Amino acid sequence: MLEFLRSSAVRVALVFVLVTTLATTAVFALVYLQIGDANEKRNRLILETEAAKSVNRPVEQLRTAFDVRLTNDLRRIDYAALFNADHKFMFGNIDELPAIPIDGKSHFVGATRVPGSDNRIEPAIFVARQRPDGNIMLLGRSLLETLAFRRIVQRALLAALLPMLLLALATGAYFARRSSRRLTIIHDAIARIMKGDTDLRLPIGSGRDPIDKISRDVNLMLDEIVRLLVQLKGVGDNIAHDLRSPLAVVHAQLERGLESSNDEQLRTIVKQALSHIDKAMLAVAALLRLADVEYSPKSRNFRQIDLSAICADLFEFYEPLAESKSIRMTLESHSPVLILGDGDLMREAVSNLIGNAIKFTPEHGSVSISVIQEDGVPVVRVRDSGIGVEPAERDKIFQRFYRTSSGHRVPGSGLGLSIAAAIANLHEFDLRFSENNPGAVFEMVGRKR
């Protein structure tokens, strides 16, 4: 309870209650003042209008009108009287002219003796107007009813203020408790995740409030962290798997070398051990390179590059190697194919595809490279007439360390296509395989946006 009372949610709730109370009080005060002012303004307008209409009436007719007015005034709230030019009382129910201007406008008088009473005082409004005969006509109305009405409204507003305040407190406490409970649940979930329960996720409600949005983003971040951890573990497992066999072979060869007394045989064994160590180092370097590509942030060092120029450079680089194997190599590129990317990485990806094509193509075969735009997206296609891929193995060739049954005799680590696929994905390309009959076709196709 103490933690709940000290929480920010409670402070927000108290601020909400305070602001609500102040706003409601201000509204109530405005209503109170407006009601009283509206009633007083209406009485002022009535008196001024009546005075203007009656100022020219004959004295006897005015006397009769005053008698009728005062006779019908059962609540005794009206004042009416006529005074001569010397302010002497002539007739009516108030025998003394109030100290107000004689201008036909309404004026407030705070203390007026009630007609027929010796000591009863009340506030009233009066209008005094000069007649053409020099007499002064006085009309007035008591404000006791207006003040009584104000008191009724005031009591009603005060009576409503307390329940409103209690309701605001209850509402604020409810939402504060609700927010505090949600934050406590999220805090407990984060604590469990920090202790190793990486499969746990933050709870998300059915609404779209900021807490749900943050929880959803944190869950996405946790998914990405778990994915990266799995990939990192996979890299470690792959390195361990790939090092186990050559290290075991090196260990066995070195043991035989220690048992041998022949220097020439020992020298041969050491050379073989070094060869296996070199293979292991190449595999580790390839794995680290693959991890570097997969974990790289999107659009790192990306700028506009020309795939046609990259493929032309690689064509010139690999053409002597193809000629040495009597392989005919061709390049199809008609115009610049521009993309946003890392030139070195794309050069490495296409180089892996071209190198594989030359590696698995027998003598007198052919390798073709084409860079084109198809359906508005860039395509790099490498086609060869080599040994191809068996149908049962086509879904596995992009896996790490996978070597086809027909490719085991060819040197390699089994990571070239994995690196090319990772680079393609980094550049929002898809690396695809299709049959060439004979041979294979590998193409990197840009994704449509």
Contact status, residue 284 vs residue 239, Cβ threshold 8 Å = yes
Distance, in Å, from the CA atom of 82 to the CA atom of 135, rounded to the nearest integer, reads 7
Q: Is residue 203 part of a domain?
A: no
Do the domain assignments include residue 389? yes
What per-residue confidence (pLDDT) applies to 443? Answer: 92
Question: Structure pTM?
Answer: 0.47
The per-residue pLDDT for 410 is: 57
Q: Are 333 and 370 in contact (CB under 8 A)?
A: yes
The Cα-based distances of 347 to 14, 86, 96, 447 in angstroms read 63, 116, 111, 19
Do 336 and 388 lie in one domain? The reply is: yes
**Strand runs (DSSP E) across 256-319, as ranges?**
303-306
Whether residue 28 contacts residue 157, with contact meaning beta carbons closer than 8 Å, is answered with yes
All residues at 6 or more sequence positions from 363 whose CB lies less than 8 Å from its CB, including other chains: 325, 326, 327
The enclosing domain of 47 has a CATH number of 3.30.450.160
**Claim to verify: residue 57 and residue 113 sit in the same structural domain:** yes
Tell me which amino acid residue 418 is.
S
What is the pairing mode between strands 106-113 and 121-130? antiparallel
Same domain, 283 and 313: no
The CA distance from 273 to 257, in Å, is 10
**Can you tell me the distance from the alpha carbon of 280 to that of 277, in angstroms, rounded to the nearest whole number?**
5
- 75 with 165, same domain: the answer is yes
Same domain, 288 and 368: no
Say whether both 89 and 124 belong to one domain.
yes
Q: Name the domain boundary from 198, 221, 245.
A: 198
Counted domains in the chain: 3
Same domain, 287 and 308: no
pLDDT for the residue 126: 92
**For residue 324, is it within any domain?**
yes
Residue 42 lies in a domain: yes
Question: Do 185 and 146 belong together in one domain?
Answer: yes
* 233 inside domain: yes
Q: Tens digits of per-residue pLDDT, 244-299?
A: 767 777 777 777 777 766 777 777 777 877 777 776 776 666 666 666 666 665 55
The CATH number of the domain where 267 resides is what? Answer: 1.10.287
The series of mean pLDDT values per 10 residues for the chain, 449 residues long, is 60 75 80 76 88 88 88 82 90 87 89 67 89 90 80 79 79 74 81 84 76 84 80 66 71 74 75 75 66 60 88 92 92 87 88 90 92 89 87 72 57 72 87 87 87
Domain contains 142:
yes
Q: What is the pLDDT of residue 267?
A: 78
Residue 407's pLDDT is 52
At residue 441, the pLDDT reads: 92
Answer with the one of 294, 313, 329 that is the final residue of a domain: 294
Asked if residue 205 is part of any domain, the answer here is no
239 and 379 belong to one structural domain: no
Residue ending a domain, among 140, 174, 198, is 198
Q: Quote the pLDDT of residue 380.
A: 93
Q: Is residue 137 domain-shared with residue 258, that is, in the same domain?
A: no
In 114-232 the beta strands, taken as DSSP E runs, fall at 121-130, 136-142
The reported pLDDT for the residue numbered 257 is: 74
Same domain membership, residue 285 and residue 381 = no
Domain identity same for 21 and 169: yes
**Is 273 a domain residue?**
yes
CATH number of 350's domain: 3.30.565.10
| Range(s) of the domain holding residue 141 | 1-198
